[in-house]
Structure 1
Amino acid sequence: MRTVRYSNREELEGINSRPFLANHLRTEVAVHLHSNAEPSHNARGARVIVQPGRPADARLAQSVLCSMKELIHSVSVYADFTVAPAPHTGNKGENREAKMPSIIVETAFHTNPDDARALQDPVFRTASMKGVEKGYRLFSEGKDCVPLKAEPIDGIHLSAGGSQQVDVAFEGNPQYPIELVTTNVGCPPGWTCTDGRVRIETPDTKPSQLTLRCENAGSAPMFWNTQVVDDDGVKSPPVRHWVQCIRGPGGAVASPGVPAGVEAATAG
């Protein structure tokens, strides 16, 4: 019988050795980290490749892509970085020979000048690999990748000297600790409206609340934006809400996100 020899035999053996090692170690999943290449310098962005006909691999890949997008886009300079919306399929030895869910993460195209610069940036590398870790973690916990999003916050009416706690409900899978960051976007003339932050250490801290105050000499509305910001820097889109102060004696102050009884600022 004639022995067939391939010019790329060592390359193929190197590729197959990876899933064979994972099989030998009986790992839960196999994640192969690559950079990508195309003859055209126009190709760019992050992709994840899976073997066709393996639904568990596809679920893992989709979770990783979703989480990579969330983490990479949390860095302002990479807010528009291309991340594939769905896994790519291909007959690749790394995945084909694996006996567990297996994916190839093509982090970026080293043949694209902009992607190549990103690959050399530790900020991008950290964000992209945090996305891979989060995607695997959600997959292993049986959770869907859901973008971080705060629910609407109802407007409230407060009398002079009054304060009220309001719940900040949100969906997603943030990395704790998180902060509820409230920014004033509409303050009546002559009033002092101070921004606020509430730190929440663990997901067991329920409900997530901020405290809104109103100590004023008149009646006027104030407007705020509130975001959830997690420990990885992922931010929910801002939610606009309002506080209507009702006429009463006293100075003028409005402050969200501070514990009850703490005076944040006072207008002259």
Structure 2
Amino acid sequence: MYLWFPSDRPRERPTEQVRSDGPAVLIGAGHGYYYHHGYKDWRPQREIYNGILEDEITTQYATMLYGKLLPHNISAGWIREARFAGHQPSGQPYHMVAARYQIADKLPERPDIWHSLPDSSDSLRERDEDIRSRPLYANEVGAGALVHIHTNASDNPSARGTRVFHHMASAESSRLGSMILCYMRESIHSLDQYKDFPIDSASTPGNHGENRLAAMPSVIVEVGFHTNAEDAAALKDIFFMGHSMAGVAKGYRLFEAGEKCLPLKIDAPVRAEGMVDDNVVIPVSAQGFPDFPLAIQASRKNCARRCAVDYELADNPDEMAEIKLAYRCDEARVELIELTARDFSGVEAEPIEVSITCHPKPEP
């Protein structure tokens, strides 16, 4: 876990501000190269584990998150920009250096933001200033919310899963963190290979500098443990990356809209019946906040081919209230039907089953 707290940081959290003309959400890719005054060289803030350098992979996740926010007309900004120009004097690609140096380029007249520990002689002082510069910059530009993207680390290689941290004094940050976890769970668990990926149920309070110094809702999203081989494999998977960041984006959107955690779910009667040659109507209702259109399908359970029975689309919340699917009774029997739902972004509801009994027609 990310636990750097220099003793001379302010202990009070700023009063949360009302956003002015800043971005709705500011995205911070964790870490980046910094100058170490002890070794007198430039180095990443994290070591490579399981083929992952956190300082680098967080920029990829931040770019993905940015792309998931734009289609919803959400103004988003960067703390570490994804530019591929060179940075001097580090000799690193620009996107690989810590936020402290990028902010210094943007606001050279504001060393109080990027050089906020001028009296420190600690060899790690520029690393510590990097942590502080992120929320201080967000305060300066009037961001509405701040989302820091990290991968996690532990001395215990079996530690794994997604966690989110907020400052203990901020109820709104706690709500934002838990909404992000809710919709990361919905999105990640829609992928068959990640249905059991561990994701915390609620945001964890803490005193991390990135959150404590922020004057707006601010959370640290630890997407997975790069020190765990299974998590590391997921972190490098483009599908996991896309679904995890789609969940972060959706969690933020619904937090901003004042909604609650309501993952996609479908309901239907557990039994239905009809006569041979009749169409049995299966009324299905859905809840949640899908990206429309929402596709609802009925299929024969344990079927080898031609399994689909019926298919409907819901294009708005009103149509989710009752979707009517039909099953044609072609012979007298009992058949198990599986109902599934999938939205435009690939989020899937937990399948449910309906037992349909087809009775023989009475003899004339």
Q: Do Structure 1 and Structure 2 share a fold, with TM-score over 0.5? A: yes
> Hey, which bits of structure 1, 4+ residues long, moved more than 6 A?
none
- 1:238 maps to what in 2? 351
Residue 174 (structure 1) aligned with residue 290 (structure 2): yes
Structure 1 contact 158–213 (Cα < 8 Å) conserved: no
Call closer, same or farther: CA 1:52–1:221 in 2, change over 3 Å.
same
- 1:121 maps to what in 2? 237
Secondary structure, aligned partner of 1:227: strand
Task: Specify which structure has the bigger relative contact order, considering alpha-carbon pairs within 8 angstroms and separated by 6 or more residues.
Answer: 1
1:148-198 CA distance string (max 9 Å, x none): 2222325333334433544211222222211112111389xxxx9753322
Residue 196 (structure 1) aligned with residue 320 (structure 2): no
Residue 85 (structure 1) aligned with residue 190 (structure 2): no
C-alpha deviation, 1:203, in angstroms: 2.6
Structure 1 contact 227–235 (Cα < 8 Å) conserved: yes
Structure 2 contact 224–235 (Cα < 8 Å) conserved: yes
- 2:299 maps to what in 1? 183
Query: Pairwise mapping of residues 8-27 of structure 1 onto structure 2 (< 5 A)?
Result: 8-27=124-143
- 2:332 maps to what in 1? 219
Structure 2 contact 299–307 (Cα < 8 Å) conserved: no
Match of 1:145 among 261, 280, 299: 261
Q: Distance between the aligned counterparts of 1:164 and 1:85, measured in 2?
A: 39
Q: Distance between the aligned counterparts of 1:22 and 1:211, measured in 2?
A: 50
Q: Distance between the aligned counterparts of 1:60 and 1:99, measured in 2?
A: 14
C-alpha deviation, 1:206, in angstroms: 5.0
Q: TM-score, normalised by structure 2?
A: 0.61
Size of the aligned set, in residue pairs, is 243
Structure 1 contact 48–65 (Cα < 8 Å) conserved: yes
Structure 1 contact 167–207 (Cα < 8 Å) conserved: no
Deviating more after overlay: 155-164 vs 92-101: 155-164
Call closer, same or farther: CA 1:105–1:43 in 2, change over 3 Å.
same
C-alpha deviation, 1:7, in angstroms: 2.2
Q: TM-score, normalised by structure 1?
A: 0.81
Q: Distance between the aligned counterparts of 1:186 and 1:127, measured in 2?
A: 28
Deviating more after overlay: 115-124 vs 234-243: 234-243
Deviating more after overlay: 222-231 vs 42-51: 222-231
Secondary structure, aligned partner of 1:232: coil
What are structure 1's unaligned runs of at least 5 residues?
Answer: 250-268
C-alpha deviation, 1:10, in angstroms: 0.8
Q: Which amino acid aligns with 1:223?
A: L
Deviating more after overlay: 18-27 vs 193-202: 193-202
Call closer, same or farther: CA 1:186–1:12 in 2, change over 3 Å.
closer
C-alpha deviation, 1:204, in angstroms: 3.8
Aligned CA RMSD, in angstroms, stands at: 2.5
- 1:44 maps to what in 2? 160
1:122-149 CA distance string (max 9 Å, x none): 1111111111111111111111112322
